[in-house]
Amino acid sequence: MLLCFILLIVELLHVTGNVVTVKPIVVNGTYINSELGKYHARLRVLSRSCHDIKERYGATTDGIYYLTTANGVMYQTFCDMTTAGGGWTLVASVHENNIHGKCTLGDRWSSQQGSDPKRPDGEGTWANMDTFGTAEGATSDDYKSPGYYDISAEDVSVWHVPNGVQLQNWTNDSILRYHTDSKFLSSSGGSLYHLFKKYPVRFGIGECNKDVGPTSPVVYDTGDKHSTETLYGPSVRDQFESGFITFRVFNEKKAAMAICSGIKPIGCHTEHYCIGGGGHFPGKATPHCGDFTGFDSDSYGPDTGKSASKEMTEAAVLIFYR
């Protein structure tokens, strides 16, 4: 980024002998470089969240905006300026690059170093300030923006977007979209970063159904309670109630999971319907370690048994704050 600006300045320098003059960037009200005009226009609405951009500058267009953190780290992310009044900042995506790879490379929201009781938090991604990926690539790989820890928000919105879909088509192609309006995030520190500090995604520190983190009812934007159910395996649909989002749960073997999307678990086999885990999932016969845990339990894809649907397994989970 900085390099781009330096190159840009160098490009604009007009060297005549020893005299260096800088060309104007605007001539007769028009930018001599139209790309620069676009950057300039976007930088005028620099804020710490899409909600702020919406409130302060009245932005109504979905797309990529510049944001800054409290410490002045500048980054770009996607703003949903339309759903339920808009002002939603994309802060993360959880993407499964290899459902057969169990806590292998790419399982950034669980562990990239295998299932290991000595690393009960795995990569620790849910509660640290590491960032990776890009907004534009959020359906092709994991994404975590500085907004994940920097923004103070009240609600979340979640989109399940098929892998590889381009940004322009995210809204139309989503298989499930919902948001909360309970302001539940306010009482958990205002971000998932703070929520997961309070409710660590760590193997062995809690029991199934006893030590559950926050849960909130959701409002559907694409899909409904019934379509949510059908995205998960037929034989586990009696283990949850749809129409909710739930954070930090444990299965019967004390393995921790971060998010149960669209549902509230009742049963203890949470590895079939909750994503993003700590660093250890006990049990050799059922290796559930990975970003999408045990979504492939009864072989990958078919709409049978405990396996989540192919649609669900092949869609990235995009997380927004407002």
172 binds, among ligand NAG, Ca ion, none (CB under 5 to 8 A by kind): ligand NAG
Q: Which of residues 169-188 bind ligand NAG (CB under 6 A)?
A: 169, 172
Identify whether the C-beta of residue 255 lies closer than 8 Å to the C-beta of residue 246: no
Binding residues for ligand NAG, total number by CB under 6 A? 4
Q: Which of residues 264-283 bind ligand NAG (CB under 6 A)?
A: none
146 lines the binding site for Ca ion (CB under 5 A): no
142 binds, among Ca ion, ligand NAG, none (CB under 5 to 8 A by kind): Ca ion
Number of residues that make up the chain: 322
Smaller CB separation from Ca ion, 90 or 185:
90
101 binds, among ligand NAG, Ca ion, none (CB under 5 to 8 A by kind): Ca ion
290 lines the binding site for Ca ion (CB under 5 A): yes
164 lines the binding site for ligand NAG (CB under 6 A): no
168 binds, among Ca ion, ligand NAG, none (CB under 5 to 8 A by kind): ligand NAG
Q: Which of residues 8-47 bind ligand NAG (CB under 6 A)?
A: none
98 lines the binding site for Ca ion (CB under 5 A): yes
Site for ligand NAG, rule CB under 6 A: 166, 168-169, 172
